[in-house]
Every structure is written in C-alpha cells, then in structure tokens.
C-alpha cells in the first residue's frame, strides 16, 4: 500500500466509526511521526495532512527544524522532563498532550509567564492504572485539572489525553477509554473540548467511546 492508500484507509475507518456515534461527532487525527523520517512526513503532508506528533524532545526539535519550510501543526505527546521545558517553550507545540504532574505544570507555567506566552495543553490520565504509564490517577484528575487551571494561568487547558489499557482484552481497553470519557464529560463545563485517545491498535474503539483526537503512528509509518 502506498502512503495515499494508507491515509485513505485510515480516514475511511475513522469515518465509519465516528458515524456510529453521531453525524455531528467530529474526529481529528495526529500522524505520530516518531517511527519515521522527515521525507515520510513530507509525503504525508503533501497528501494534505497537517497535524503531526512526536514523543521525544530531541526528535521533536530536530524534525521541526528540518521541516520548518512547511506549516505543520506540531503536537508534543510524550513525557516531558523538567530540564527540557525551555526547549519546548522555544519550539512551542500547537498542543502539549502530556501534562502529568502539578510540579511540571507549575515549572512550565513560570517559564511561560517569564516569556509572556501561553501554551495549550491536555492533562494525561492513567485510566488503566498501569505502573509503566505516566499521568494522573482518575480519582485525582478533576481536582488536579482545577488546581492547574487556577495556579497556572499561562497554561490553557483544553481537555484530557489517555493511552488505552495495554491488553488483548477489548473489554479492558474499552473500560479505560470510558473512564477517561467520563472525566472529560465532567470537565466540559470547564471548557474542555479535546479528548485525545486511540492509537493504531485501538482508535476505532476509542472513537466509539467518545474520543475526538486520535494519535496514529505505526499504521501510517510502518
Ligand atoms: C507512539 C505513540 C502513539 C502512536 O502509537 P501507534 O501504536 O504507533 O499508533 C500514540 N500516543 C503516544 C503517547 C505515543 O507515544
């Protein structure tokens, strides 16, 4: 399959899944380019796709640099260490998906404030309670969302991000998505509009559980 065929197939799968939720349920996807070269990214861009995501600061900056001649909407989706905050601020993404502690939010906020800029971000939820994953426990998510909103005015919270349970049991994956969706619904009154969940192996299920932003890597780039 060539790149155009791969993208078309994904768009069709997304369309089929989202229509089962509602005609009005709009779903967007980010091409997660961490497995790919900048030349692959250009191919996908030339097909008409604009949103790309990286999960490592080093790769994010390198690829952004090499592609600064085209208007990509960059997303940062990986774990952010505090010593890399400046690099992210200098290369501000369209959206940071992975705010996973109050400490990180406060450190980020103070540098944003010092630079007089704002950053769109999502709170990461560890809805499957896996030790290997970052993110807030679901029980503390709403409280932390409110705390960050209050203490970090230069961070513009837009919603939640979560990675589905790492399991072959579809029920478990679904359960983890449903937990995130419920938390997201509770935050709609706080202007949360983005529910980022669903990767190559589970995005159709994620859509059916209410996701409106997918992060698709391997199905595009491998
Ligand atoms: C790699 C990655 C993805 C994409 O995963 P695929 O299974 O390759 O689609 C999505 N979200 C995050 C946070 C990732 O690190």
Domain ranges of the chain: 3-221
Q: How confident is the model at residue 210 (pLDDT cuts 50, 70, 90)?
A: very high
Q: Does the C-beta of 213 come closer than 6 Å to ligand 1?
A: no
Q: Read off the pLDDT of residues 147-195 as tens digits, 9 standing for 90 and up.
A: 999 999 999 999 999 999 999 999 999 999 999 999 999 999 999 999 9
d(CA 221, CA 186): 35
User: Which are the contacts of 47, defined by CB distance < 8 A and separation ≥ 6?
Assistant: 3, 4, 7
- Full-model pTM: 0.97
Q: How far is CA 120 from CA 12, 40, 127, 192, 209, in A?
A: 29, 27, 22, 11, 24
The residue whose CA has the least distance to atom 10 of ligand 1 is: 215
Question: In this structure, are residues 157 and 148 in contact, taking their beta carbons and an 8 Å threshold?
Answer: yes
Q: Ligand 1 centre from 215 Cα, in Å? A: 6
The strand ranges marked E within 38-154 are 51-54, 73-76, 95-99, 119-125
In terms of CATH architecture, what is 3-221? Alpha-Beta Barrel (3.20)
Q: Does the C-beta of 77 come closer than 6 Å to ligand 1?
A: yes
Residue 25 pLDDT: 97
The residue whose CA has the least distance to atom 12 of ligand 1 is: 77
Average pLDDT over the chain, rounded to an integer: 97
Q: Does the C-beta of 81 come closer than 6 Å to ligand 1?
A: no
């Amino acid at each position: 399959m060539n790149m155009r065929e791969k993208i078309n197939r994904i768009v069709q799968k997304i369309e089929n899944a989202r229509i089962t939720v509602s005609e009005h349920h709009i779903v967007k996807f980010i091409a997660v380019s961490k497995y790919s070269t900048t030349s692959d990214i250009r191919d996908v861009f030339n097909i008409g796709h604009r949103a790309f995501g990286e999960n490592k600061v080093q790769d994010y900056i390198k690829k952004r640099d090499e592609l600064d001649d085209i208007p990509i909407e960059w997303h940062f989706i990986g774990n952010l260490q505090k010593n890399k905050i400046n690099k992210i601020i200098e290369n501000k993404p369209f959206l940071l998906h992975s705010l996973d502690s109050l400490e990180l939010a406060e450190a980020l906020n103070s540098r944003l404030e010092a630079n007089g800029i704002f950053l769109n971000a999502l709170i990461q939820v560890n809805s499957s309670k896996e030790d290997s994953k970052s993110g807030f426990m679901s029980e503390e998510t709403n409280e932390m969302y409110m705390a960050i909103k209050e203490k970090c005015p230069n961070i513009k919270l837009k919603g939640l991000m979560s990675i589905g349970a790492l399991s072959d049991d579809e029920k478990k994956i679904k359960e983890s998505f449903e937990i995130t969706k419920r938390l997201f619904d509770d935050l709609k009154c706080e202007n949360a509009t983005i529910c980022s969940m669903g990767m190559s192996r589970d995005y159709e299920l994620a859509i059916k559980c209410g996701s409106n932003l997918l992060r698709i890597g391997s199905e595009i780039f491998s």
